[in-house]
Chains A and B, each alone.
Chain A
Amino acid sequence: MLANRPLDKDTPEETIAELVDAVGRSPERRDLLVRLLPERLSLYEGRSTNETTRIRGYILAAFEQTGLPDAALPYVLEELENGRDAYLVAGAAKALRGLDSPTSRITHFLLKAVENVKYVDDALTFETYKPRWPIKDHTTALREIFRTFGWLGTRARSALPDLEALCKERSDEFSQPIRAEIENAIDRIRSDGGTAHVCCGAVSANRGLEIYAPREEQRDGGGIADIELEDQDRNTLTYGGFFRDKPSIVVFFYTRCNNPNKCSLTVTKLARLQEAVADERLVGLLKTAAITYDPEYDLPARLKAYGESRGVAFSDDDRIFRTRTGFRELQEYFQLGVNFSGSIVSRHRIELFVLDGRGEIVVTFARLQWDIQEVLEQAKALL
C-alpha cells in the first residue's frame, strides 16, 4: 500500500522509512528500494544532507534483509569506495551481505572503506530510523565492514594478508572490539572450506563504475548551446561557444564539497588528466573543463583558487566554469546526479563526461573513481 504512493520532496522521511521497513518484510518488492537511490530524484529535492544521508543509509542497510539486486550494486560500491559518512558506509557494508552470489572482487571495496572511515567512524544503529540517544548496542561502520569480511568467508581469502596486517602491525589503530571483529573475520575466512569464485556473480558483471552512452534525447546539445558560462578569469561565453570544434572532457564539482574523495579528488585528477593530455601530445586537440554545481557561491575567484591549488592548468581550452544562466537546463541535459537543499548541494555522485566536437555527450563515467587513461582513450577515439 505504502509503495503505491508516489514519493516526492514532500513525503515525510518517516514515511519513507516505513516503506523501507515494509519492503524489508516483503523482499520480493526490493526493486522499489533500488528506484529510490538515484540522487537526482525529486524525492531528495529540498532535503538536507543529513536527511538525505539518513534515508539512503537506511535503504542501503535494508538490502541485507531483502537481498541486494544487481542494480543497487553501483550505489553500494560507490559508498564503500568514496563514502566518508559512517552511517552510509555501514549501510553499504550491510547491503553486501544481501548479495546472492558474493565474490572476492568486493574485498577491494571493503578494504578501501576501512581506510575511508577509520578516522570518522561513529556509533550508529539501523534498529530504528532517526534514533534518539541513549541507544543500546550501537554498531559502527568498521564493525559492519569486518562482519562482511567474515560473511564472505573463503571469498575474502585474497584480503587475508591485509586483514592480518590490520590485526598485527596496525592493531593500535583499532579499539579492542574492532580488533576482535577483525580476528573473527580472519577465523571465518580461514575456516570456510568453500571455493573462492572470482569470475562469477553480480560484481564481475557490474563493477560499479557506470560508463554509458547517452540516451537519444541527451544527444542533442543544441538546447543548451546558449547557456551562459563564466570562467575562473571572469570571461563569459556560451556553452555552445566553448564546447565546440574539439572533443572535451568535463567534470562536475563544487568548492564547498566536504568529501575529499569526491570534488577535491575529481579536480586533482582533472589536473593529472591535463598532464596526460600533454604527455600524449594532445594539447590543442582536446578541451578540459570543470563546472560547479554551486554557481551562486562559486564565484570566479573561488573557482580559480580551487583549481590552482589542485594543479589545474588554465588556458583557452582548459577552464573552470560556473553557469550565469541555465543551470537547471544543464542539470537536465547531463542528467546530473545531484540534489539541493535550497542553494546548498545536499548530495552528488562523481561524474565525468566525454563530449564530442558539438558539445554532445558521448560517454559518461559515474559513481566510482574514473581512470585517467580510460577517459583519455575515450576522448582520443573522437579525434
Chain B
Amino acid sequence: MDTPEHRRQYTERIERAAEEQREGLRDFSDRSRPAEERQSALRRAVALRGQDEVAEAVDVILDREEDPTLRASALRAIGIEVGKSHDLIDMVIGLLRDGDEPEMVRQAALRTLQQSSFRAATFNPKMPEYTDALRTVIDDPEDSLREQALEILAQGKDEYAQRRLLESLEDPSQALVSPGKAVQLLGNDIHADYYPLLRDMVQDPPSTEAKQEAVRLLAADPASKELLVDILRDKNEYREVRNASAAALQSLAPAEFQEHAKQIILDDGEYNDLRATAIDGLALFADQEALSQDTELSSRVEQLKEQPPSDEVERSAARYISMRASGETGPAAAGTNV
C-alpha cells in the first residue's frame, strides 16, 4: 500500500472515531433517551476530555434524579480529567463522603479517586481531604466500601486505620473486617504494634487463614523466634501454617532455621511440601560453608533426589545439588533492607 493511500485510510478512521465520539456524547447528553441508551452511548464515547464534555458529565454525575449506573459511568468517563483538577477532586471526594448517595456512585468515586491519586503532582495537595474522607468511610455500613477504604489507608500506614483495626481485633463487636483481613492490613507497617496480638492470635486463632497470616507477619518480630520454632516443629500443626513458619523463621533467624530445616529433611515422616521448603531454604539462604561440611545432610538430599517421595521434593533436591555443585549460593542471610 502506498503512503498517501495509507494516510487517507488512517485519516478516515480517525474522523470516523471522532464522529462516533460526538454521536456518543450527543446521545449521552440527550436526557429524553432511556438511561440504558445513554449508558451505551457513553461507552461509545469512551473518555470525556473536552471542557464541555466534562461539564456535561458533571451535570449528570451531580444530578440525583439521574440513573445511578449512568452517573457512575459518567464519573468513570471523566476519570482522567479528575486527576488534573482540584475542583473535580473536591467534587468526587464529596460524593464518596455522602452516605445518601447510591453505593454504585460512591464506589465509582472511590475508584476514580484512587486512580487519580497516582497523579501525585495534582493529587498530593488534596491528600488530607481524601484521607479525611476515607477515615469517615471506614465506618460505612457498606462492607465493600469500608474494606476498600481501610485497605487504602492501611497501605499508607495510617494511624487512625491501624488504631481501629487493632480495636476490632481486641473487641470483635467493633470488627470492621474479618480478623484475617485485619491482620493482613496491619501487616503493612511493622510499627503498627500488632505483634502481641498476633502472638495471642497464633495461640487461639479465629481461623486457619488468620493464623497463617499472623505467622507470616511474625517474620519481622524477633521476640517471636521461639514461637515460630515451636510451630515449625509441631507435627500436629496445619502444613500451611508450618510452611509459613518455616519461611518466617528463615527470614528472622537463619541459623535457627538451618538447624530445624535439616531435621525436617532428615525426617522421613515429614510432609513432602515442608521438606521441599526446607531444602529450598537451605539451598538459597543457608551458610554455605557449614552446609559443605554437613555430609549427613548432603547424602540425604542426594538420596531424596534418587528416590524422591514426591515431585516437589525431587525438584528441590535437584536444585540444591545443582547449586552446590556450581558454587552458586543465595545471600548468606535473609532479605536485606536497602
Contact = CB atoms under 8 A, between A and B. Distances in A.
Interface in A136-171: 138, 140
Interface stretch (A18-26, A215-223, A341-349): A341-349
Nearest to B125: A175
A297 B220 CA distance: 7
Nearest to A143: B128
Nearest to A130: B163
Contacts of B221: 342-344
B86 A175 contact: yes
Contacts of A119: 120, 124, 127
A372 interface: no
Contacts of A258: 157, 191
B331 interface: yes
Interface string B295-338: 00000000000000000000000000000000000011111111
Contacts of B335: 302
B193 A341 contact: yes
Nearest to B121: A172
Contacts of A123: 128-129, 131-132, 135
Contacts of B129: 123, 175
A8 interface: no
Main secondary structure of the interface of A (DSSP, over half): loop
A297 B254 CA distance: 11
B192 A301 contact: no
A106 to B, nearest CB: 24
B49 interface: no
Contacts of B190: 256, 344
B124 A173 contact: yes
Interface of A: 48-51, 53-54, 86-87, 118-119, 121-123, 130, 133-135, 138, 140, 172-176, 178, 234, 255-256, 258, 296-297, 299-302, 304-306, 309, 341-344, 346
Contact of A301 (B120, B191, B332): B332
A50 B333 contact: no
B336 A133 contact: no
A137 to B, nearest CB: 11
B74 interface: no
B196 interface: yes
A172 B122 contact: yes
Given A123-B132, A256-B337, A301-B336, A174 B159 contact: no
Contact of A133 (B160, B162, B193, B254): B160
B136 interface: yes
Contacts of B331: 301
B334 A299 contact: yes
Contacts of B125: 172-175, 178
B14 interface: no
Given A134-B136, A173-B125, A297-B222, A302 B131 contact: no
A48 B192 contact: yes
15 contacts: A50-B192, A50-B193, A118-B124, A119-B120, A121-B127, A123-B129, A123-B131, A133-B138, A296-B223, A299-B254, A300-B332, A301-B333, A302-B333, A302-B335, A346-B191
B51 to A, nearest CB: 19
A257 to B, nearest CB: 9
A169 to B, nearest CB: 14
B195 interface: yes
Contact of A299 (B139, B223, B333): B333
A133 B192 contact: no
B44 interface: no
B28 to A, nearest CB: 30
Contacts of A172: 121-122, 125
Given A258-B191, A301-B336, A296 B222 contact: yes
Contacts of B138: 133
B163 A50 contact: yes
A234 B331 CA distance: 13
Contacts of B196: 342
A212 B94 CA distance: 53
A33 B215 CA distance: 40
A299 B336 CA distance: 9
A31 B26 CA distance: 70
A172 B334 CA distance: 43
B126 interface: yes
Given A172-B121, A306-B337, A342-B221, 11 more contacts: A49-B192, A87-B159, A122-B131, A133-B135, A138-B132, A178-B125, A299-B334, A302-B333, A302-B337, A305-B336, A341-B191
Nearest to A233: B332
Given A123-B131, A130-B163, A305 B121 contact: no
A133 B191 contact: no
A84 B293 CA distance: 49
B113 interface: no
A130 B160 CA distance: 8
Interface string B159-198: 1101100000000000000000000000000111101100
A119 B121 CA distance: 9
B252 interface: yes
B122 to A, nearest CB: 7
Nearest to A85: B159
Nearest to A302: B336
B337 A133 contact: no
Which 9 A-B pairs have CB atoms at the shortest separation, nearest pair first?
A48-B193, A296-B222, A305-B336, A123-B132, A301-B333, A255-B337, A49-B191, A175-B125, A133-B135
Nearest to A263: B337
Contacts of B135: 123, 133-134
Contacts of B163: 50, 130
Given A301-B331, A305-B337, A343-B221, A53 B121 contact: no
B252 to A, nearest CB: 7
A342 B132 contact: no
